[in-house]
A and B are shown apart, each in its own frame.
Chain A
Amino acid sequence: MTDTNKTSLTRESLPGLNRRYRAERRFHLVGKMAVAFSLAFLTFLIGSIVYQGIGAFFQTEVRLEVPQEMIAEHGDDGFTLLRQSMLHNLPDAKGRSARREAYKMAGEGSDIELLSAIADQQTQAAVVTVWIPVSDDIDMAYKSDFAPDMLGSFSDRQKGWLDTWVADDRLRMSFNTGFLVNGDSRDPERAGIGGALMGSIFTLVVCLVLSFVIGILAAIYLEEFAPKNKLTAFLEVNINNLATVPSIIFGLLGLAVFLNTFGLPRSSALVGGMVLSLMTLPTIIIASRVALQSVPPSIREAALGLGATHIQAVFHHVLPLALPGMLTGTILGMARALGETAPLLMIGMVAFIADPPSSFMDPTSALPVQVYLWADSPERAFAEKTSGAIIVLLLFLFVMNLTAIILRKKLEKKW
């Protein structure tokens, strides 16, 4: 391109050509760096979240040896049994403060784990060996490989015990199913995303049903039946504008109309889904219209020519062909709805809710809201939980987007 005429134009004959070539290379480089910056940021974002959050999927456990007679004595009282076994497994835990420090090394709720672990084993051996979760402080310390700044909350005696546990190889990491199953909790080691996940699923179901049905019907009307007049033009402008309204405004609408006027239950999946569906509706309508446009007119004309009515032609012939495109648009809309937080805060989905919802009317949390709530918590262990919840959220989004892409590739027809 640049070395057009070699006979008369040389670098020497054109003043400043070297300078211009350097400018050219610089410009190219700046463009490359702009792209590289965005990609680097994305890598940094995902990398740091995975690095911080991967630990949430694992739980540090300690091996306890529980004598059979202790089980016989306290077998029906997990709390006491746990305390007694902790004392049994920690050398020199004498005196009140030492005992208290010993109890603190077991995780909250480990008594239940202990009882079920003993029940699972069904052994009559003199000493039963079980693995139970440790406290979140030890968990964090173990995961950081006992980094010095993680040890601040331990007493010297506890540090000594930790050393013997490590020396005896009594600590291990195991997969933390509780994180995926449990509801929210004030104790970081028991807090899980199960409740929020169920809430998100309930909310998305409401959102999907409403916005899919209404969105597709609206798209069919606008694309196939609407007369070309001012009203239709107004509808179109309206929908395009709605697509760019900030999401928090939809939350205000939900608060004023669904909660205060209709009196629907606060922080319920029903209202959450309704608000999100209003938000995703424009996206789905726009995507569905594009899908309908891509069906060639010959299909329509052939159906009409064979005697089908306009409605039959559309519903029997055009719609099935446009459906993959519509589905793709819908999945992408749902992915956006899944990550949306602000409108849900407006309708009261910020309360602390431990139990997963059992109906659409129950107060519930949602995955992104859980991220927001945990991010605000002062405990250090919640930072790990937050990143863990984000990993799950991103995984869901990834799967949804991947499905949309595969669907488009597989079902896409070239006319």
Chain B
Amino acid sequence: MPASPSLRGTSKGKKLMTERLIKLGLLASSGIAVLVTIGIVFSLVVESVRFFSEVSFFDFMFGLEWNPQTAMRSDQVGSSGAFGAVPLLAGTILISAIALLVAGPLGIYSAVYLSEYASARRRAIVKPTLEVLAGVPTVVYGFFAAIVIAPLLRDAGAAIGLEIASESALAAGLVMGVMIIPLVSSISDDVISAVPASLREGSIGLGATKSETIRKVVLPAALPGIAGGMMLAASRAVGETMIVVMAAGLAANLTINPLEAVTTVTVQIVMLLTGDQEFDSAKTLAAFALGLALFVITLLFNMVGNWFVNRYREAYD
């Protein structure tokens, strides 16, 4: 360390001490991030282990019935409740799939349009406006899905003779899809811009039209990155809570029909924990087991998604 000649030995020593302390404080601050992760994993695992001492792991993972209503007295019928998570996972997958079916094409086409066709001025206006969709609180989407979109779908279905539940997976999935559009579109935009110009120029030089270039050269080249982006979007959809709490069903229902009401992992976590009950019942512990499942699934999606996106970036760097 350079020191000015006027510094006395002692004050310099003191200063170095202070500096060491400051550095320690800085290190501690970044350590908090690790602590949070440890805290999440630890609390989820500990409560889940307690849950699995009451309900078998096998029943939880493969059970087809979810009915956490434990009875007040142990001698009542059905006092144990049923904790099969399959209907919840199926519901989560159904709603997320609908969301991705909406967000995928719309997001990718928006990105293509904005990065390849739109003028710089239009892009400068439209892009931030699209981002607004990502900034709207999810509770607002949930309200909108429940109050506006769901009745709209129900009436539209009734008009053509279809029976659509007022808490259908379709309504929640559609609105969730719109929420994810900016995520898909901004990742796709990055990925598409990263495709080297030489590929594009080669294609156009051979006489391909712009859309042919995009469809047959740019998008295939960008595919790994876009796939990674879709994984990240899937992680968002699976972990989304408020939209499904307000617009999806509460009762477990094992179906793949998007017109029916299904429930999701996040909905059940909220349902299990927002009522009044003691903390140690299997009911509340089940919420932590679901939380652990959710954490692991989203982590996997994110890791695979990021791996794809990064690998793709390296390939063209």
Contacts and interface: CB of A to CB of B under 8 A. Distances in A.
Interface of A: 1-2, 4, 20-21, 23-24, 26-28, 30-35, 37-39, 41-42, 45, 48-49, 52, 213-215, 217-218, 220-222, 225-226, 234-235, 238-242, 244-250, 252-253, 255-257, 260, 278, 281-282, 285, 304-305, 307-311, 335-336, 338-342, 345-346, 350, 368, 371-372, 375, 383, 386-387, 390, 393-394, 397, 401
B140 A248 contact: no
A253 B36 contact: yes
B242 A342 contact: yes
B26 A39 contact: no
B143 interface: yes
Given A249-B294, A340-B137, A372-B142, 17 more contacts: A21-B209, A38-B133, A217-B25, A218-B30, A244-B298, A246-B294, A248-B239, A252-B269, A309-B3, A310-B1, A311-B22, A342-B270, A346-B269, A371-B143, A372-B139, A372-B246, A386-B143
Contacts of B22: 311
Nearest to A335: B135
A35 B130 contact: yes
A33 B294 CA distance: 35
A49 B26 contact: no
B40 interface: yes
A4 to B, nearest CB: 8
A208 to B, nearest CB: 16
A contact face: mostly helix, strand, loop, or mixed: helix
B32 A20 contact: no
Contacts of A23: 209, 211-212
A24 B208 CA distance: 10
Given A35-B113, A375-B146, A27 B140 contact: no
A245 B236 CA distance: 9
A372 B236 CA distance: 20
B33 A285 contact: yes
Q: Which 6 A-B pairs have the closest CB atoms?
A: A246-B239, A339-B137, A31-B113, A34-B109, A27-B211, A256-B43
Nearest to A41: B178
Nearest to A386: B143
Nearest to B28: A217
B119 interface: no
Interface in B251-306: 266, 269-270, 273-274, 279, 287-288, 291, 294-295, 298-299, 302-303, 306
Nearest to B20: A311
Contact of B2 (A52, A240, A304): A304
A253 B43 contact: yes
A144 B212 CA distance: 53
Given A42-B132, A397-B137, A249 B214 contact: no
Contacts of A335: 135
B172 interface: no
A239 B35 CA distance: 11
Contacts of A226: 30
B294 A341 contact: no
B41 to A, nearest CB: 10
A24 to B, nearest CB: 5
Contact of A242 (B36, B109, B110): B36
9 contacts: A35-B114, A42-B132, A49-B143, A218-B29, A239-B33, A285-B33, A311-B22, A342-B138, A371-B139
B49 interface: no
Nearest to B232: A244
A28 B30 contact: no
A41 B15 CA distance: 59
A240 B34 CA distance: 11
Contacts of A310: 1, 19
